[in-house]
Amino acid sequence: MGKVTGFLEFGRVEEAYEAKDQRKKHYREFIPPLSDEQAKIQGARCMDCGIPFCMSGCPVNNIIPDWNDLVYRQEWQAAIATLHSTNNFPDFTGRICPAPCEEACVLRINADAVGIKSIEHAIVDKAWESGWIKPQPPAHKSGKRVSIVGSGPAGLACAQQLARAGHDVVVFERNDRIGGLLRYGIPDFKLEKWHIDRRMEQMAVEGVSFRTGVHIGNQRPGKGVPDWATGTIAPRKLLAEFDAVVLAGGAEQPRDLPVPGRDLDGVHFAMEFLPLQNKRVAGDAGVPDLWATDKHVIVIGGGDTGSDCVGTSNRHGAKSITQFELLPMPPDVERNPVWPYWPTRLRTSSSHEEGAQRDWSVATKAFIGENGKVKSLQAVRLEWKDGKMSEVAGSEFTLPADLVLLAMGFVSPVQSVLEAFSVEKDSRGNAKAATEGQGCYATSVPKVFAAGDMRRGQSLVVWAIREGRQCARAVDESLMGSSELPR
């Protein structure tokens, strides 16, 4: 339980961020993990509250109080074993999880939460450095073959679990590298990509094969969805060759803004912009020329994707960056008003801190261009009453805009992929599959399962890992009659 009086003695220690002006000059991560001593003090703040709400706040139910205690005692090897017992990839979540666990921490009722995510980060980095993370190939092979469509965190977690259960697993990925949004979407300054490569090496030894550049389906996805496939495989071929198929293709269909001027040059989906920067950092040649350099950039959408567009535009050297959100500005409260649940409150990311004008309750009415290129944006202020919005008369305004990035979320998975497999969809257009009970994660089509954003809609990396793990157990059960994989 850490130190009995730790939460009274020690304050929360934040990870040290590299200074804004320095980190804006590069695309590398800028948050080093806590030192052993800092992590020990942070672990000491865990107060053995009795009912660890943090564990239910964490979608993979990480056994947080146990590894807090182990870090306090400096038993790091036991800490990583405990962390890995619920989470395949703490190296990803320790960097980019928004840490709903910390909102649920009991200490957060009247003080600062334990820095759970920073402890997770410290444990996994130390474990890699110390050589404690090794492949875990299965003792026996099952002779069963499973294919996974999509290599994001859901597909990777599912693949790792199934390979450890002895199945031969092949991960098919449309793009030219493995990782889903971890690779193409999330900027390198939040997650450097060698973390994914290192996990791929581990998984290859465990029995996972990776096939990139292959689109599974009958029809290619279309505008706003990254697609570097060089070949296509029809679903019926996969169904014929594998004992089970897991659909883990994400929720890639971006929400559009069909206002006048949408077709002008310079108005792009965020996912037409962000992956290009990932490719440049990876050293690829011939990356299309879409930059924010010396431009007035307007990001439409106030979430994670928008924030990543802000951070990337700042690194490009944009002239100005404005971020619009349709909803009103949430309250900037210090404590969690709905503890232990996830509150709606103002969140300022490290990218926002690097510089951007944020504006709430704004609706974009039109893009204005010259010679086919966007030059400005017309917008209007909104008033919100009882959850309904109306335009404020006379509040129209115009801003210069050379690059507009649409980051208004994702409506669903690419429908043609689900249709190619003939799986039933839910009311939001996701693959329909239950998460509890007999036949969980199974779709309406025999042998076909679904997990991650493709099943639940746009979500988080940690939810994708949870679904990948749980889906792996469901697949294992269906193939073998029972499963020893953890849920």
Q: Which residues bind ligand SF4 (CB under 6 A)?
A: 58, 60, 62, 64, 87, 93, 97, 99-101, 116-117, 120, 462
> Could you say which of ligand SF4, ligand FAD, none residue 150 binds, taking C-beta under 5 to 8 angstroms by partner kind?
ligand FAD
Contacting ligand FAD within 275-334 (CB under 6 A)? 304-305, 308
Which tokens sit at 437?
């009970």
- If one asks whether residue 254 binds ligand FAD (CB under 6 A), the answer comes out as no
Measured CA distances, 141 to 162, 200, 466 (Å):
11, 20, 24
Nearer to ligand SF4, 100 or 221 (CB): 100
Say if residues 216 and 162 touch (Cβ distance below 8 Å).
Answer: no
Q: In this complex, which beta carbon is closest to ligand FAD, that of residue 6 or of residue 100?
A: 100
Partner touching 58 among ligand SF4, ligand FAD, none, CB below 5 to 8 Å by kind: ligand SF4
Q: Which DSSP string do the residues of 419-445 spell out, in sequence order?
A: HHTT--B-TTSSBP--SSSTTTTB-SS
**DSSP letter assigned to residue 283:** T
Q: Does 175 bind ligand FAD (CB under 6 A)?
A: yes
CB closer to ligand FAD, 76 vs 172:
172
Q: Are 346 and 386 in contact (CB under 8 A)?
A: no
Q: Report in angstroms how near the CB of residue 173 gets to ligand FAD at its nearest.
A: 5
Binder of residue 452, out of ligand SF4, ligand FAD, none (CB less than 5 to 8 A by kind): ligand FAD
How far is it, in rounded angstroms, from Cα 277 to Cα 259?
Answer: 27
CB nearer to ligand SF4: give 117 or 315. 117
**CB closer to ligand SF4 out of 62 and 175:** 62
If contact means CB under 5 to 8 A according to the sort of partner, which of ligand SF4, ligand FAD, none does residue 62 touch? ligand SF4
* Choice from 33, 52, 249, 369 touching ligand FAD (CB under 6 A): 249
- Does residue 94 touch ligand FAD according to CB under 6 A? no
Strand ranges for 265-396 from DSSP E: 267-269, 296-300, 320-324, 357-359, 362-370, 373-385, 388-391
Helix (H/G/I), strand (E/B), else coil: 344: coil
Cα gap 156→148, rounded to integer Å: 9
Helix (H) or strand (E) segment spanning residue 467: helix 461-480
Question: What is the C-alpha separation between 294 and 158, in angstroms, rounded?
Answer: 43
Whole-number minimum distance, CB 88 to ligand SF4, in Å?
A: 11
Nearer to ligand FAD, 40 or 456 (CB): 456
Q: What is the DSSP annotation of 372-385?
A: TEEEEEEEEEEEEE
Closer to ligand FAD by Cβ: residue 23 or 215: 215
Is 116 in contact with 102 (CB distance < 8 Å)?
yes
Tokens representing residue 164 in the block: 């450890």
| Spatial CA neighbour of 180 closest among 432, 465, 449, 450 | 465
Q: Nearest approach, Cβ of 120 to ligand FAD (angstroms)?
A: 13
Q: Are 147 and 246 in contact (CB under 8 A)?
A: yes
What track of x and - describes contact with ligand FAD for positions 116 through 155 (by CB under 6 A)? Answer: ---------------------------------xxxxxxx
Which is closer to ligand SF4, CB of 72 or CB of 269?
Answer: 72
Binding-site partner at residue 100 among ligand FAD, ligand SF4, none, CB < 5 to 8 Å by type: ligand SF4
Q: Footprint of ligand FAD on this chain (CB under 6 A)?
A: 96-97, 149-155, 172-175, 180-181, 185-186, 190, 215-217, 248-250, 274, 304-305, 308, 417, 452-454, 459-462, 464
